């Protein structure tokens, strides 16, 4: 995997790229960066080039006044595509990266052929007076977030099953008796790469004009879990109702927000590739 930071006319941006073929641009969610590969599951690297930029505030992409908003971030990402000499991509927007993915599809229709939304935020998200928002402001403050994720990595190495059980209620409302150990280990493997840096605090203060959803003309596939406890299913339903050319897949999975873990995602991968190849 190539991972590098480049300078563009709109600023510096880190990105990863591997594989060859049809270009898929992943707009990652919160707490991760260009190294996050969970949503890449099932993609044949002989048929697809998978590109993941670190959004501003994550990884080695700096956060500043010129790239704080999803709309501003799109300009930086388009500059990355120009640098890579890529004219058109399929965008896969994930969780808090949903806002930026929507802006890309709405503002640069000539560069975006299709849009996939996975567990994506598409409208106002956290209540600014709610416990989740206020707690996140403290826990994921750039001054201490590295300690939080360091402890997750430490205890996850010692007991991945325990950490998966602790995190599951944050992701899902699904009831369970016993967690599949292989799936718990897969979640923990990815959690070890999590860092919030300045990105997540910036994310939770964002909002977009939802009227832009009506501007999106490219085909859109929306994938969401009805058990998502991080981004409510109402986001997916709202996107489906606002975007003219859209399809929706609603999962009833164990891991809720983390739709890529477990057999339920494996069952819909055929639908995803059918959408891509239509």
Tell me the pLDDT band of 178, cut-offs 50, 70 and 90.
confident
- Report how far residue 32's alpha carbon sits from residue 10's, in angstroms, rounded to the nearest whole number: 22
Residue 45 pLDDT more than 90? yes
- Report how far residue 127's alpha carbon sits from residue 49's, in angstroms, rounded to the nearest whole number: 37
Residue 204 pLDDT more than 90? yes
The catalytic residue among 17, 34, 54, 95 is 95
Tell me the pLDDT band of 194, cut-offs 50, 70 and 90.
very high
On average, the pLDDT of the chain sits at 96
Q: Which of these, 92, 109, 110, lies nearest to 101 by C-alpha position?
A: 92
Q: Does residue 7 belong to any structural domain of this protein?
A: yes
Q: Does residue 117 belong to any structural domain of this protein?
A: yes
Domains in the chain: how many in total? 1
Q: Which of these, 66, 96, 77, lies nearest to 199 by C-alpha position?
A: 96
Check residue 10 and give its pLDDT.
Answer: 95
> Is 267 in a helix, a strand, or coil?
helix
- The CATH number linked to 41 is 3.40.50.1820
Check residue 73 and give its pLDDT.
Answer: 97
pLDDT tens by residue, 127-138: 999 999 999 999
Tell me, yes or no, if 95 is annotated catalytic: yes
Residue 176 pLDDT more than 90? no
Residue 208 pLDDT more than 90? no
Q: Does residue 261 belong to any structural domain of this protein?
A: yes
Check residue 25 and give its pLDDT.
Answer: 98
Q: Which of these, 229, 34, 196, 197, lies nearest to 126 by C-alpha position?
A: 229
Answer yes or no: are the C-beta atoms of 206 and 70 closer than 8 Å. yes
> Is 256 in a helix, a strand, or coil?
coil
Q: Does residue 21 belong to any structural domain of this protein?
A: yes
Check residue 139 and give its pLDDT.
Answer: 95
User: The tokens of 212 are what?
Assistant: 């832009």
Specify the higher pLDDT residue, 208 or 276.
276
User: The tokens of 244 are what?
Assistant: 């003219």
Among residues of the chain, what percentage have pLDDT more than 70? 100
Q: Does residue 83 belong to any structural domain of this protein?
A: yes
Sign of the dihedral through C-alpha 270, 188, 230, 38: negative
Q: Does residue 228 belong to any structural domain of this protein?
A: yes
pLDDT tens by residue, 69-104: 999 999 999 999 999 999 999 999 999 999 999 999
- Domain extent, residue 76, equals 2-125+208-277
Q: Does residue 265 belong to any structural domain of this protein?
A: yes
Q: Does residue 177 belong to any structural domain of this protein?
A: no
């Amino acid at each position: 995997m190539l991972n590098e930071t480049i300078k563009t006319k709109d600023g510096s941006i880190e990105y990863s790229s591997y594989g060859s073929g049809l270009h898929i641009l992943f707009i990652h969610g919160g707490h991760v960066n260009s190294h996050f590969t969970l949503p890449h599951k099932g993609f044949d690297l002989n048929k697809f080039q998978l590109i993941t930029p670190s959004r501003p505030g994550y990884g080695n992409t700096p956060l500043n006044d010129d790239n704080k908003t999803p709309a501003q971030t799109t300009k930086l990402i388009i500059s990355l595509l120009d640098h890579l000499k890529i004219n058109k991509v399929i965008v896969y927007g994930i969780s808090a990266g949903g806002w930026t993915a929507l802006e890309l599809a709405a503002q640069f229709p000539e560069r975006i052929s299709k849009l996939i939304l996975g567990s994506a935020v598409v409208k106002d998200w956290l209540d600014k007076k709610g416990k989740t928002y206020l707690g996140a402001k403290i826990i994921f403050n750039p001054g201490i977030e590295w300690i939080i994720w360091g402890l997750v990595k430490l205890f996850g190495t010692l007991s991945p099953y325990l950490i998966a059980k602790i995190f599951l209620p944050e992701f899902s409302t699904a009831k369970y008796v016993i967690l599949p150990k292989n799936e718990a280990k897969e979640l923990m493997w990815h959690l070890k790469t999590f860092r919030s840096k300045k990105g997540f605090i910036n994310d939770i203060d964002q909002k977009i004009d939802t009227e832009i959803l009506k501007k999106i003309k490219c085909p859109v596939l929306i994938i969401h879990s009805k058990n998502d406890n991080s981004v409510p299913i109402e986001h997916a339903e709202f996107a489906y109702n606002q975007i003219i050319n859209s399809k929706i897949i609603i999962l009833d999975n164990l891991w809720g927000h983390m739709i890529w873990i477990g057999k339920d995602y494996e069952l819909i991968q055929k639908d995803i590739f059918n959408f891509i190849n239509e």
